[in-house]
């Protein structure tokens, strides 16, 4: 029985490997693009649904406001009931705004400070190692 080995040269084999690797990488990139496109579509649909939920939620808050005002107006004048609900909402908005402002202040500057510090340490370490290597 004769051995039917492929008698291609190393150069030919390396070129074939390079071509196949390039093809494989291109196919993987196309697959990644397709997957990202599909995920992007789903994310867009989800964001649209969140937007719709927000609008309907705002309508619900408006209806709840009207309900609270009408319920209070059975005990006090309607204008006073509306004023009380408005003051309560304004107080809640003020508290949320102050807490939000403090959260934003804690998050600024938006630079990853720890990562920057450790990167600077890494650079100093590399420079030190490079200097000591040059001296040897």
Tokens of 58: 């705002």
Domain boundaries, the chain: 10-72, 76-126
Per-residue pLDDT of the chain (136 residues), as tens digits, is 444 455 778 888 888 888 899 999 899 998 988 898 889 999 999 999 999 999 999 999 999 999 999 999 999 999 999 999 999 999 999 999 999 999 988 877 777 777 878 888 878 888 887 777 667 6
The set of residues, in sequence order, having a beta carbon less than 8 Å from that of 72 and lying 6+ positions away, is 80, 81, 84, 85
Q: What does pTM read for this prediction?
A: 0.52
Cα 78 to Cα 75: distance, rounded to the nearest angstrom = 9
């Amino acid at each position: 029985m004769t051995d039917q080995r492929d008698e291609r040269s190393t150069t030919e084999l390396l070129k074939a490997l390079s071509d196949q690797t390039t093809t494989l990488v291109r196919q993987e990139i196309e697959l990644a693009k397709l997957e990202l496109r599909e995920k992007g579509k789903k994310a867009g649909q989800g964001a649209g649904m969140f937007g719709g939920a927000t609008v309907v939620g705002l309508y619900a808050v408006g209806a709840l406001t009207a309900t609270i005002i009408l319920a209070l107006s059975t005990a006090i004048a309607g204008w006073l009931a509306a004023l009380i609900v408005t003051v309560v909402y304004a107080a809640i908005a003020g508290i949320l705004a102050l807490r939000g402002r403090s959260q934003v202040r804690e998050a600024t500057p938006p630079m990853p400070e720890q990562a920057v510090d450790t990167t600077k340490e890494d650079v100093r370490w590399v420079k030190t190692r490079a200097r000591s290597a040059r001296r040897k």
